[in-house]
Amino acid sequence: MEEDSRPRRGRAPKRAAILDAARRVFGRDGYSRTSIDAIAGEAAVSTRTIYNHFEGKEQLFAVVLKSSATQVAETFETTLRSELGDEPSSATRLEADLVVIGRALLRQSLDHPEHFAMIRQITAEAPHFPDAVLRDWRDAGPLRVRRAVADRLAAFARQGLLREVEPFRAAGHLVALTSAELTSQYRPWGDPPTDAEVDDALRAGVAAFLHGYVSDPTPTGAAPSD
């Protein structure tokens, strides 16, 4: 499943069209039901053109999955840099900064619907894919996003705003707490949440996270006040 990455004149637009079409078709039909003919029709190219770029469906799927996950992770990192910057946080900003992180996590599925449609489709089929394909996807997407969150939490801990944490684990807790109320499993009977409900759920999740992780402002050994 080695990918030929050598640039060739005139190939890039067609390759991009094939990847975009494959993402849509895999997201709509799943891996097993998707055919090269269907992808060719969606991309408005011949099947021969697809085989000029990819060895077959398995390699095409692997490339689409990894490149799409990379795009999601890069967008997430850009959002954090844009909204949080590189300046240290503060005790008065910590909760708001964590809400920003939670909102950026939630926006991933809204900003990249075709990618997450593909992820939902392949979940049931995951045991049938080579481990390398799934590992590349996790490294490029979910783990990269979680590491970005972990880096922010580690910075907060160095500033004394959070207690000493294992950043990667704490990042998993923040992800879970800020998304729990907004998953389809939590709201199977309800309408999609309003913006106000999303904001309220994010703040509740952040409050729960801070309850476990916020730094104790009382100096060690200090006597409790009456």
pLDDT at 20 over 70: yes
Q: Can you tell me the mean pLDDT for 123-141?
A: 88
Q: Can you tell me the mean pLDDT for 110-128?
A: 86
**In a domain? residue 39:** no
Ramachandran angles phi, psi of 52, nearest 5°: -75, -20
**In a domain? residue 151:** yes
pLDDT tens, residue by residue, 32-78: 999 999 999 999 999 999 999 999 999 999 999 999 999 999 999 99
The distance in angstroms from the start CA to the end CA of the chain is 69
**In a domain? residue 152:** yes
Confidence (pLDDT) at 121: 84
Structural tokens at position 144 = 């990269």
**In a domain? residue 220:** no
Question: Which residues form the domain of 200?
Answer: 65-213
Query: pLDDT higher for 141 or 2?
Result: 141
Least confident of 120-129, 138-147, 194-203: 120-129
Number of domains present in the structure of the chain: 1
Q: What percent of the chain has pLDDT over 70?
A: 87
**In a domain? residue 58:** no
Structural tokens at position 223 = 């006597």
Cβ neighbours of residue 104 closer than 8 Å, sequence gap 6 or more: 76, 79, 80, 83
**In a domain? residue 123:** yes
Structural tokens at position 159 = 């500033």
pLDDT at 80 over 50: yes
**In a domain? residue 8:** no
Predicted structure pTM score = 0.83
Mean pLDDT comparison of 9-13, 64-68, 114-118, 184-188, highest-scoring range: 64-68
**In a domain? residue 190:** yes
How many residues would you count in the chain?
226
Please state the separation of Cα 95 from the chain's center in Å: 21
Which CATH number does the domain housing residue 174 bear?
A: 1.10.357.10
Please give the Cα distance from 57 to 30 (Å, whole number): 12
